[in-house]
């Protein structure tokens, strides 16, 4: 995959209570192609969870640090480290997370990274800081996929892109002159399923990011759409209109073993596997308008899940299976909602939203919106307090899919 220009990140909201963290410049980090401490600071700021204090001095991981002074300066924790260029061209990156309140060490990492992976190493350090201070796994080292719609004539009007979660390191996965929609990641992060228009009809493809090859896995009579991976990565749920009205099917990831799951006179589509793989959440108009239902992966009688409003689409389930996100139309506006499935409590998270996708830790949702008159992406926390946007410099971007944790 060839590298392309990165996206721009704009932070629009922060958490209700932020953890003050001081981040020092790493010793000798100028030797590398990326400033590790700056990437860590940007990650922590973007999360909305931390109040990041720029120490404005270099502190190595081997330094004797006066933690009481940092506590007096308002920091609960301090990040220090160093970068050393090795003889083989790699960079040794060392870091420590220090507790300024208890004056103890919370964590440390010591890894060697190739120059092209130095940004990833910085994201992993930020993930470690996030997890040690919140108890939740960080998602800075994850990736996102999205579709870029280019305005000028060229080889690709539509491009399926992959980038780091901060919009950097943007790379082309697949492209074409016809529309690409609905990219979704396999659980191991090695493949993307998506829908492309082939010969004037929607067809489901699976793209292998390791080999760069795409294969058609659903090209049946009528429309083939809305792919979703099973939690173990062996199967796909798809929507097919082979019988006239669109219904839900489950098949092996290579397109074999196709099995019909829903059996109604309505339109059933946009199926999503539950976290345990035993159920499907899906969209149906069987009640007279689009609503979200749940049924067994083996079929049977579905149960309705959404009842508020007369237009609820695009169900998405958090990785732990506790939260349902979806798009509702309210007074002509498309809004992102989330529901705690145990309590049934709903919350409106964003307006002008479509195509939601959960982060693998379940704490954030990326969705398609609009900025400066063209398609853009935005991220919101599941409590609605943290928001930031991702915009491309020249193109419209849409159809985001948040990738899994990297191995």
Q: Where are the domains of the chain?
A: 8-134, 143-402
Quick: pLDDT tens for 25-48. Answer: 999 999 999 999 999 999 999 999
Q: Which residues pair with 269 in a beta bridge?
A: 283
The correct CATH number of 8-134 out of 3.40.50.10070, 3.90.199.10, 3.90.1010.10, 3.40.50.300 is 3.40.50.10070
Residue 3 has pLDDT above 60, yes or no: no
Tens of pLDDT along 243-263? 899 999 999 999 999 999 999
- Would the pLDDT of 190 be above 50? yes
At 140-160, the pLDDT tens digits run: 999 999 999 988 666 778 999
The pLDDT value recorded for residue 316 is 98
pLDDT reported for residue 395: 86
pLDDT-derived band of residue 220, with 50, 70 and 90 as boundaries? very high
143-402 falls under which CATH superfamily?
A: TolB, C-terminal domain (2.120.10.30)
Phi-psi domain of 373 (left: phi exceeds 0; alpha: psi -120 through 50; beta: other): left
- As a whole number of angstroms, the distance between CA 139 and CA 162 comes to 15
Query: Which tokens sit at 370?
Result: 């609009």
Report which of 152, 126, 122 is spatially closest to residue 138, judged by C-alpha positions. 126
Q: Please give, one letter per residue, the 3-state secondary structure of 49-118.
A: CEEEEEEEEECCCCCCCCHHHHHHCCCCEEEEEEEEECCCCCEEEEEEEEECCCCEEEEEEEEEECHHHH
How many of the other CB atoms lie within 10 Å of CB of 194? 24
* Mean per-residue pLDDT over the chain, rounded: 93
Q: Report the C-alpha gap between 43 and 383 in whole angstroms.
A: 19
């Amino acid at each position: 995959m060839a590298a392309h220009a990165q996206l721009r990140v704009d932070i629009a909201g922060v958490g209700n209570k932020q953890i003050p963290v001081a981040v020092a410049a790493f010793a000798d980090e100028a030797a590398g192609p990326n400033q590790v401490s700056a990437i860590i600071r940007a990650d922590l700021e973007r999360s909305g969870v931390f109040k990041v204090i720029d120490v404005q001095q270099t502190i190595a991981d081997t330094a004797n640090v006066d933690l009481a002074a940092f506590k007096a300066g308002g920091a609960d924790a301090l990040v220090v480290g160093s970068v050393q260029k090795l003889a083989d061209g790699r960079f040794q990156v060392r870091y420590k997370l220090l507790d300024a309140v208890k004056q103890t060490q919370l964590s440390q990492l010591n890894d060697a990274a190739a120059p092209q992976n130095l940004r990833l190493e910085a994201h992993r350090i930020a993930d470690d800081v996030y997890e040690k201070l919140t108890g939740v796994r960080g998602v800075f080292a994850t990736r996102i996929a999205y579709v870029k719609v280019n305005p000028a004539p060229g080889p690709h009007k539509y491009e399926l892109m992959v980038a780091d979660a901060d919009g950097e390191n943007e790379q082309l996965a697949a492209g074409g002159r016809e529309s690409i929609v609905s990219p979704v990641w396999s659980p191991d992060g090695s493949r993307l399923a998506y829908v492309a228009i082939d010969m004037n009809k929607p067809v489901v493809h699976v793209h292998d990011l390791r080999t760069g090859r795409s294969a058609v896995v659903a090209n049946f009579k009528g429309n083939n759409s809305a792919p979703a991976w099973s939690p173990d990565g062996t199967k796909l749920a798809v929507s097919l209109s082979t019988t006239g009205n669109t219904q839900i099917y489950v098949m092996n990831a290579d397109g074999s073993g196709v099995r019909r799951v829903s059996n109604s006179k309505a339109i059933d589509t946009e199926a999503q596997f539950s976290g345990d793989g035993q159920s499907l959440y899906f969209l149906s108009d069987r009640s007279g308008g689009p609503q979200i239902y749940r049924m067994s992966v083996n079929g049977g009688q579905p149960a309705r899940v959404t009842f508020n409003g007369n237009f609820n689409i695009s169900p998405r389930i958090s990785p732990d299976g506790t939260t349902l996100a979806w798009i509702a139309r309210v007074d002509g506006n498309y809004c992102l909602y989330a529901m705690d499935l145990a309590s049934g409590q709903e919350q409106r998270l964003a307006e002008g939203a479509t195509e939601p996708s959960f982060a693998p830790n379940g704490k954030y949702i990326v969705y398609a919106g609009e900025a400066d008159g063209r398609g853009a992406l935005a991220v919101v926390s599941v409590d609605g307090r943290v928001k930031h946007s991702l915009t491309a410099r020249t193109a419209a971007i849409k159809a985001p899919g948040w990738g899994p944790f990297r191995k």
